[in-house]
Amino acid sequence: MSGSGQHAVFPEQASRSAGLFARAGKVMPGGGTRHPIIFPPHPVYAVEGRGCRLTDVDGVERIDFINNFSCQIHGHGHPEVTRVITEQAGRLTTAILPTEQELRLAELLAERVAGIDQVRFCNSGTEAVMIALKAARAATRRRLIMKMEGGYHGQYPEMECSFISEPHNWGPEEEPAKVPLSEDTPANLFDNVVVAPFNRVEATRALIRRHAAELAAVIIDPFPSRMQFVRAGEEYLRMLREETRAAGALLIFDEVFCFRLDYRGAQGRFGVTPDLTTLGKIIGGGLPIGAVGGRAEVMAVFSARGAGALPRVFHGGTFTANPMSMAAGLRSMQLLTPAAFADLQAKGDRLRSGLRDAAAASGLPVQVMGDASLTGIALSARPFDGYRDMITACGGNHRERMFALHRHLLNEGVLISPQGALAGSTPMTDSDIDFTVEAAGRAFAALARDDAPDRARAAE
Ligand SMILES: Cc1ncc(COP(=O)(O)O)c(C=O)c1O
C-alpha cells in the first residue's frame, strides 16, 4: 500500500464501506447522491485527506489521482488554503452584502484569461453553463445553441442532449440525432439545440452555416474528460472561431474541467479566444463554485440599466459568491503560479510516459492520453479523435472494463475516476507518480488476464 501498511481488499462485504453503502441504500435511492462516483458493488467511503492521499473508513490509504474530479489541485488540506478557509469561517460565511474576496478573485481571472474582461460567480459548473446560455441568447437575441456530440456540460437538461449516444440511435455523423440522456426528457426541450460532431471540421462548418440566422452560440469543452481528453484540433477551434464570428453567434468554451491545463486556461494553451468562458472546480479551492466570464459587451446583458430596472439576464443565488468559496478560491489560484503549472506539466508527462511503458509491458491494449495535469486512459489500441471513433474503438463494454481497471487500482492503492480520468495535484512527488505507474502496471496485467477468456472465446 502507499504508506498506511493496511492492505486494500475491494470489494469486501465485511468492510465498513460495504456496511455504510447497505445503510445508504435505505435512505438514498441508489445509495448516494452523485451517480458518477458510485461504482459496483459498493463505493469506498472517505474519512480523511492529506496532500495527495485519501484514507477510507477501513483505514486504507490511497494516492488520490482524481482530486474530486480535478477540483482539489492542491490536494487535501493544503496548509495555506486551510488557513484561509478557517479564518474566513470565523469571520463571515455568508451574507447579503458582497465581499472584497469576490472582487479580488474576479480581478485575478480577468487578468489571467484572454477571453475574460468581466466575470460573475455561481455555485457549480452546471449553473455556469446555464447562465452562459441565458447570456448568449440575450446578447444575440437568438434561440439556438450548438453543442458537440459526447460533450458533457453538467446536469442542465437542455445540455444533456447527446451527452451519451450510441450507434443504434446517433443518426448520421454529418447531422447527429438529438439523443436524450433520460427517456423521460420532453423532446421539445431540444427544439433549440443543434448537435455537431466533435472535431469534424467540414460537417460542423456546414451545420453552423445552415443554422447561422438563428444560432446564438456554439458551446464546446475543448479538452473533454468524457472523451479521455482528446483535444479539439487547432483547425477545428479556428474554424469554430471564424464561423461563429461570421454568423454573428458567440463561441463559448466550457473550461469547468480543463481550465487547469494552463496558467491562462485552455484558451491560453490553444490560442483561441472565446466570447464566453464557463469555469468551476479549481477556482473554488475545493469549495463549491462556478463562474461565467466574457467580453464586456456580452457581459453587459447582466447590467441593470438604472436603479430598480431589471437587467436583460437575471442572476442571483443565495450562495452565489459566498465568502468561503471566494476566499478559498482566491488563495488557491494565487498559489497556482506559472512555476506551479510547469511542475504539474512535468509530473503529468512523467506519469503518461510511465503509464505507456507499463501498458506495453502488460500486453493490454491501452492508449494514454491527455496533457499537463490531466491524463485519460482508453482501453483500446485504436487511435481516435472524435466521439464516434472513441465509442467504436473502445467497444460497447468499455464502461465495465474501466470499472474493472478502477477496481484493480483501488486494490493497488490508487484512486482514479471510475471513467478512467486522472488529475495531478501540486503536492505529488515523483515517487508518488512512480508508485502509481507501478500500480497501474500490475492493474493492466490483471485486466489483461481478465480479458483473456473473452479473447479466447472471440478466437474460437
Ligand atoms: C466540462 C464540464 N462542464 C460542466 C460541468 C459541471 O460542473 P459541476 O459538476 O460543478 O456542476 C463539468 C463537471 O465535471 C464539466 O466537466
Tens of pLDDT along 114-173? 999 999 999 999 999 999 999 999 999 999 999 999 999 999 899 999 999 999 999 999
> Does the CB atom of residue 125 touch ligand 1 within 6 A?
yes
The reported pLDDT for the residue numbered 452 is: 81
Residues 6+ apart with CB under 8 A from 443: 405, 408, 409, 412, 414
CA–CA gap between residue 421 and residue 225 (Å, rounded): 7
- In a mutational test of the pocket of ligand 1, which residue from 126, 181, 221 has the highest number of ligand atoms less than 8 Å from its CB? 126
> Does the CB atom of residue 221 touch ligand 1 within 6 A?
yes
- CB-based contact 169:179 (threshold 8 Å): yes
Nearest protein CA to atom 13 of ligand 1, as residue:
154
User: What are the catalytic residues?
Assistant: 152, 254, 281
Taking the centre of ligand 1 as the mean of its atom positions, its distance from the CA of residue 152, in whole angstroms, is 7
Q: Which three cell numbers stand for residue 5?
A: 501498511
Percent of the chain with pLDDT over 90: 92
Nearest protein CA to atom 12 of ligand 1, as residue:
154
pLDDT for 261-319, tens place per residue? 999 999 999 999 999 999 999 999 999 999 999 999 999 999 987 778 889 999 999 99
pLDDT for 187-229, tens place per residue? 999 999 999 999 999 999 999 999 999 999 999 999 999 999 9
pTM for the model? 0.97
Say yes or no to pLDDT of 451 above 90: no
> Does the CB atom of residue 220 touch ligand 1 within 6 A?
no
What's the full length of the chain, in residues? Answer: 460
Query: How many Cα atoms occupy the beta-carbon half-sphere of 321 within 13 Å?
Result: 18
Ligand 1 atom at shortest distance from the alpha carbon of 154: 6
Nearest protein CA to atom 3 of ligand 1, as residue:
153
> Does the CB atom of residue 329 touch ligand 1 within 6 A?
no
Q: What is the mean pLDDT of residues 388-403?
A: 95
- CB-based contact 293:119 (threshold 8 Å): yes
> Does the CB atom of residue 257 touch ligand 1 within 6 A?
yes
Alpha-carbon dihedral angle through residues 422, 427, 430, 431, given to the nearest 10 degrees: -90
Ligand 1 atom at shortest distance from the alpha carbon of 69: 14
Ligand 1 atom at shortest distance from the alpha carbon of 70: 14
Say yes or no to pLDDT of 3 above 50: no
